[in-house]
Amino acid sequence: MNNPFLWISLLKIVGILFVVILPMVSYTVYAERRVSAFIQDRVGPNRVGPEGLLQPIADVVKLLMKEDFSPSHVNPFYYWLAPTLAVMPAIITMAVVPFGSSLFGVPMVIADVNIGILFVFAISSLGVYGIVLAGWASNSKYSFLGGVRSSSQMISYELCLGLAVIPIFLLVGHLRLTDVVRYQIENGWLIAPFIGDWLNPTKWLLAIPMLISFGVFTIAIFAETNRLPFDLPEAEQELAGGYHTEYSSMKFALFFLGEYAAMITGSAVIVTLFFGGWHFPLPSWSGGFHWALVDGSAPGWKGVAGGLFNIVIFFAKVAALLFFFIWVRWTLPRFRYDQLMRLGWIFFFEIALANIFLVAGILTFAR
Amino acid sequence: MAVTVTRPNLNWREKIYLPAILSGLAITLNHFKRMLLGQTKVTMQYPEQRRDAEMPDYYRGAPALVRDTNGRVRCVACQLCEFICPPRAIKILPGEIPDADQFAKVEKYPEEFDIDMIRCIYCGMCEEVCPEQAIFLRKDYAITGFTREDMVHHKDKLLEIGGVMHGVVLKWNERK
């Protein structure tokens, strides 16, 4: 155990997953309650602590003290397994996302695997198991219907999830997520390519398929995390709670937090692929006007400041995208189940597929 | 009878739904901005803002016993309010006023007068039925306590809430 890489990785895991991501999940719940209240012309929780900021802590205390009850009619092994399978994929996927440039010489990504995005897709597909097991093991009609609907929805939208981002990797050439970020540093964010060679028409032409890709991928992430307008599996008006009807206290908390953790991970992946990850160009006039790169590689305190700046920028972008998730939830009505499946299998699948051919064509003939 | 429902013909902008979605997003963002800047005042932040100053005269709050301007407790323990109270929240133990007292003419007074505020439904029947104008419903509505015993208002608490009532009929005057 003298291996420094192991210790540093352990520190990164504890420092990011436990200190940043898990509190971020509870505060996303708080943000949802506040933002949705403001959108609905009401105030939201503002009593516990200043402006209600200690509300998640009160919620945690309440959930910990609740009686952990298992109904007698459930299948005990899968009933206990399902909430963990709902939470773990969302958290594990954060391991490959680069949330910063580097700090004290340590790259700010827990596992910089060269299969990058394939890891994300593989692990997030495991999230389906949590829901289908919860619906089946609960041994109740509402849960079963909710579980079945949710699992079919998630599997359908995994198609367009994968196909939508293939154009990016056609462009970048590597699957590694840090390489995607490095490509965006040199050539501008994929949906806002304002860095680099302005006179190259191919670059501007490629922005159109990248926007299509961004749209399809974001909508697929909405469907994967069971967020409105695709939240039929947990529609209270129709299913009395859906697949988590029979769960209480800590197991329900795990489902609830798993949904928000999946939202955060989805936002993190979208930020990495389309919004330039941790990069934020600062204008610099020394030696002619250019966009200066701020990252953690400068020596001394400037490098530390740069590294911290990158981490803050990454989480700011994730927070902005989470605001967008909440904003859309309280704007759009819910899709009917057949409309949902039709969109996933016919509409978005074809658009993503056509997008791949479009980008391949542009790259072949314009280079 | 089969009825044919004609679907409206959508133009291309309506068919892709995106312009409608974007205008919907603009509406909700406007609501958010207005709440954030404090331009929408819908929610009353209770306990900092209350409507205690604007209560109507006929508002029925917690019951209270009153004294008159002579300092006498007006209740004569006739137990009419105890009889008529629908949830039976009032419990009275009547006692005799000793002959040496200034108000010996009245003969009866309540030794114990308990109103269980958990049972009280604030209907106002006790105030209506009282022949002595001794019990009135006040304007306070926030009655709280930690135990059931805390929530029973005894005679001293009721007199404290009630205070002195002016303008009531002085039935038991000396001259009669």
Q: What is the pLDDT of residue A238?
A: 59
On whether residue A40 sits in a domain, the answer given is no
Amino acid at position A80, single letter? W
Helices (H), A275-300: none
Q: How far apart are CA A178 and CA A109, in angstroms?
A: 9
Give the amino acid at A333: P
pLDDT at B72: 85
Q: Do residues A169 and A86 touch, judged by C-beta distance below 8 A? A: no
The DSSP annotation for B138-173 comes to -S------SSTTTTEE-HHHHHHHH-B--S---TT-
Strands (DSSP E) found in chain B = 63-65, 90-96, 108-116, 135-137, 152-153
3-class SS of residue A357: helix
ipTM above 0.85, yes or no: no
Number of domains comprising chain A: 1
Mutation target vs A (from B32, B34, B36, B44; most A CBs, 10 A cutoff): B32
Contacts of B21 in chain A (CB under 8 A): 331-332
Give the C-alpha separation, B141 to B117, whole Å.
11
- B chain contacts of residue A46, beta-carbon cutoff 8 Å: 45
Cβ proximity of A45 and A30 under 8 Å: yes
The type of residue at A262 is A
Query: What is the rounded CA–CA span in Å between residue A207 and residue A192?
Result: 8
> How far is it, in rounded angstroms, from Cα B54 to Cα B81?
29
- A26 occurs within a structural domain: no
On whether residue A49 sits in a domain, the answer given is no
Domain that holds residue A156: 65-281+290-366
Instruction: Determine, yes or no, domain membership for A46.
Output: no
Structure confidence at residue B39 (pLDDT) = 85
Contact A41 B31 (CB under 8 A): yes
Find, in chain B, the residue whose alpha carbon is nearest to that of A343.
B16
Query: Which chain A residues contact residue B40 at CB under 8 A?
Result: 41
CB–CB of B70/B170 below 8 Å? yes
Res A1: pLDDT: 57
Q: Alpha-carbon distance B44 to B33, whole Å?
A: 19
Distance from CA of residue A287 to its chain's centroid?
A: 39
**Does A309 map to a domain?**
yes
Give me the pLDDT at residue A111, please.
85
What is residue A12's predicted lDDT score, i.e. its pLDDT?
86
- What is the SS3 assignment for B90? strand
Q: Which residues of B touch A (CB under 8 A)?
A: 21, 24-25, 27-29, 31-32, 34-36, 40, 42-43, 45
In a domain, A152, yes or no: yes
Query: What secondary structure, in 3-state letters, does A206-269 show?
Result: HHHHHHHHHHHHHHHHHHHCCCCCCCHHHCHHHHCCHHHCCCCHHHHHHHHHHHHHHHHHHHHH
**Could you give the residue ranges of the DSSP H alpha helices within chain B?**
12-15, 18-36, 80-84, 125-129, 155-162
Dist. CA A357–CA A299, nearest whole Å: 45
Averages of pLDDT over runs of 10 residues in chain A (367 residues) are 82 86 90 92 88 89 85 86 90 89 82 89 89 86 81 88 92 90 85 74 86 93 86 64 74 87 93 89 74 75 85 93 93 87 91 94 86
Sheet strands (E) in A187-328: 282-284, 290-292
Inside any domain, residue A51: no
User: Considering chain A, what percentage of its residues have pLDDT values greater than 90?
Assistant: 30
Examine residue A176 and state whether it is found in any structural domain, yes or no. yes
Question: What's the pTM value of the predicted model, to 2 decimals?
Answer: 0.85
Look up residue A338 and give its two tokens: 């057949």
